[in-house]
């Protein structure tokens, strides 16, 4: 048995011809950098999300760095975020010269606990980065209230939640800036690196567009220090094909998640992920919590059985050597020891889900009787 955590095998079978035709079209056009496919993709994705501006960039990390800069965040500023995320969230804050301030997460959604944010706000606080972790939206209404009260910018990290929504609005369209990743394993994945910045602000959009091309509006008339961070035309053409399937594929992930929940429901050895009423969870990851200190041994057992799983994230960002913040985040600390992400991808069959679950149930059952 070999069950991967994620695979593009089935989608490749379905789309290979269509995608190769699109790639050929771009090659024949000779327009590789900022070609028409980038503009077309930006138009299509802004319509899909319901946002005024969509700006393609080189990666999700660059989307965060450029998004923060365009929102005016820089040296001396503090940005509140979660420690239970991929390093890039905090890395982007540090890259613009600001300081990340970490608060704890909610035990049920794994997302930043918005009720803890206000306590950390001081005169240097300029922004919050909510991370819609695993595809589940952060509770945005109370967060936007805090932002209004203290005049903070909200820069959403939507890397794991393309297509998810909060009370009917797509995530990445609620704060000042949305930052998306098209890393191949993300819900909308390119065949290489890619990212996107979204905003309804004309001002932020204008700066972000300059920043991605060396700080210029007009070629060779550079005005500010920028980056070389463009979405590649070939990736844009591929993303246009895949964008047309995103809802169907997010539904596929939900089917898999519901199947896991159906068979694991009531099992006393695990805690299942719950979707809160306000979000349409798109299950970038299906992450359970394993009780009784059994997470690591379960993971090893599944590995021996040919089933890949991952620990997102074994070291919370605030404990990484670069930060090493001496703070106590009790829920984050619990999650790093018991969270386990199980295989999930849009075309995963119910039969494979059943195989994974039976191995989990049998292992945890046998062990609890030892």
Ligand X SMILES: *Cc1c(COP(=O)(O)O)cnc(C)c1O
CB of 266 to ligand X, least distance (A): 31
At closest approach, how far in Å is the CB of 132 from ligand X?
Answer: 8
Instruction: Kindly list the distances between the CA atom of residue 30 and the CA atoms of 23, 41, 212, 220, in Å, as whole numbers in the listed order.
Output: 11, 17, 21, 22
Which residue, 3 or 190, has its beta carbon nearer to ligand X?
190
Candidate list 26, 73, 88, 138; residue touching ligand X; CB under 6 A: 88
Pick the stretch among 7-15, 57-65, 205-213, 261-269 that binds ligand X (CB under 6 A): 57-65
Instruction: Out of 77, 157, 176, 319, point to the residue binding ligand X (CB under 6 A).
Output: 157
State in angstroms the smallest separation of the CB of 202 from ligand X.
Answer: 25
Considering only residues 330 to 369 of the shown chain, the ones binding ligand X according to CB under 6 A are none
Nearer to ligand X, 269 or 309 (CB): 309
Is residue 61 a contact point for ligand X (CB under 6 A)?
A: yes
Reference 200, options 169, 225, 229; nearest CA is 169
Annotated catalytic residue: which of 69, 153, 170, 186? 186
Nearest-CB residue for ligand X: 60
Task: Clarify whether 242 is annotated catalytic.
Answer: no
- Pick 64 or 146: Cβ nearer ligand X: 64
Q: Judged by CB under 6 A, does residue 60 bind ligand X?
A: yes
Strand locations in 50-181 (E)? 53-57, 78-82, 99-103, 125-129, 153-157, 165-166, 169-170, 177-181
Tell me whether residue 263 or residue 311 sits nearer to ligand X (CB atom). Answer: 311
Establish if 181 lies at the interface with ligand X (CB under 6 A). Answer: yes
What is the C-alpha to C-alpha distance for residues 112 and 25, in angstroms, rounded to an integer?
43
CB of 106 closer than 8 Å to CB of 334: no
Toward ligand X, which CB reaches closer, 84 or 249? 84
Q: How far is the CB of 62 from ligand X (least distance, A)?
A: 7
CB of 186 to ligand X, least distance (A): 6
Q: Quote the CA–CA distance of 88 and 58 in Å, as a whole number.
A: 14
d(CA 92, CA 185): 20
Which residues, 6+ apart, have CB-to-CB distance to 125 below 8 Å? 77, 78, 79, 80, 101, 150, 152
Q: Near ligand X by CB under 6 A, which window of 115-123, 157-165, 253-261, 302-310?
A: 157-165
202: its two tokens: 């004309």
Question: Which residues have C-beta within 8 Å of that of residue 215, sequence separation ≥ 6?
Answer: 222, 223, 224, 225, 226
**Token code pair at residue 10:** 């089935």
The answer to whether residue 59 forms part of the interface with ligand X (CB under 6 A) is: yes
Interface with ligand X, residue 183, by CB under 6 A: yes
C-alpha–C-alpha distance, residues 69 and 72, integer Å: 5
| Shortest distance (Å) from residue 159 CB to ligand X | 3
Position 231 contacts ligand X (CB under 6 A): no
Is 146 an interacting residue with respect to ligand X (CB under 6 A)? Answer: no
By CB under 6 A, the residues from 110 to 139 that bind ligand X are 131
Applying CB under 6 A, among 86, 162, 166, 345 the residue interacting with ligand X is 86
Q: b vs e for 332-356, b when ≥16 Cβ sit within 10 Å of the residue's Cβ?
A: beebbebbbbbbbbbbbeeebbebb
Q: Rounded distance, CA 272 to CA 257, Å?
A: 10
Interface positions with ligand X (CB under 6 A): 59-61, 85-86, 88-89, 131, 157, 159-160, 181, 183, 193, 195
Residues with catalytic function: 186
């Amino acid at each position: 048995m070999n069950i991967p955590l994620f695979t593009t095998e089935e989608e490749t079978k379905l789309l290979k011809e269509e995608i190769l035709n699109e790639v050929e079209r771009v090659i024949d056009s000779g327009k590789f950098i900022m070609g028409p496919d980038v503009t077309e993709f930006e138009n299509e994705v802004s319509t899909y999300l319901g946002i005024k501006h969509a700006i393609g960039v080189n990666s999700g990390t660059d989307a965060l760095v450029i998004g923060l800069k365009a929102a005016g965040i820089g040296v001396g500023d503090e940005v509140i975020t979660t420690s239970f995320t991929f390093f890039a969230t905090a890395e982007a804050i540090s890259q613009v010269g600001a300081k990340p301030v970490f608060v704890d997460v909610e035990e049920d959604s794994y997302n930043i606990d918005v009720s803890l944010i206000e306590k950390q706000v001081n005169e240097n606080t300029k922004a919050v980065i909510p991370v819609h972790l695993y595809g589940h939206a952060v509770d945005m209404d109370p967060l936007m209230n805090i932002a209004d009260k203290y005049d903070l910018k909200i820069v959403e990290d939507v890397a794991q939640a393309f297509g998810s929504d909060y009370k009917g609005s797509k995530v990445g369209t609620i704060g000042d800036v949305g930052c998306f990743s098209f890393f191949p394993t993300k819900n909308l994945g390119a065949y290489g690196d890619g990212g996107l910045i979204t905003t309804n602000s004309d001002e932020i959009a204008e700066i972000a567009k300059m920043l991605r091309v060396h700080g210029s509006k007009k070629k060779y008339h550079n005005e500010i220090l920028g980056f070389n961070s463009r979405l590649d035309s070939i990736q844009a053409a591929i993303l246009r094909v895949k964008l047309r399937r995103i809802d169907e594929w997010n539904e596929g992930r939900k089917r898999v998640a519901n199947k896991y929940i159906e068979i694991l429901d009531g099992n006393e050895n695990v805690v299942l992920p719950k979707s809160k009423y306000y979000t349409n969870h798109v299950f970038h990851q299906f992450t359970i919590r394993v009780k009784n200190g059994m997470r690591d041994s379960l993971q090893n057992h599944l590995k021996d059985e040919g089933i890949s799983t991952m620990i997102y994230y074994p070291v919370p960002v605030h404990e990484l050597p670069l930060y090493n913040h001496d703070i106590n985040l009790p829920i984050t600390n619990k999650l790093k020891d018991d969270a386990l992400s199980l295989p999930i991808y849009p075309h995963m069959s119910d039969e494979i889900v059943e195989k994974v679950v039976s191995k989990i149930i049998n292992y945890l059952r046998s062990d609890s009787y030892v």
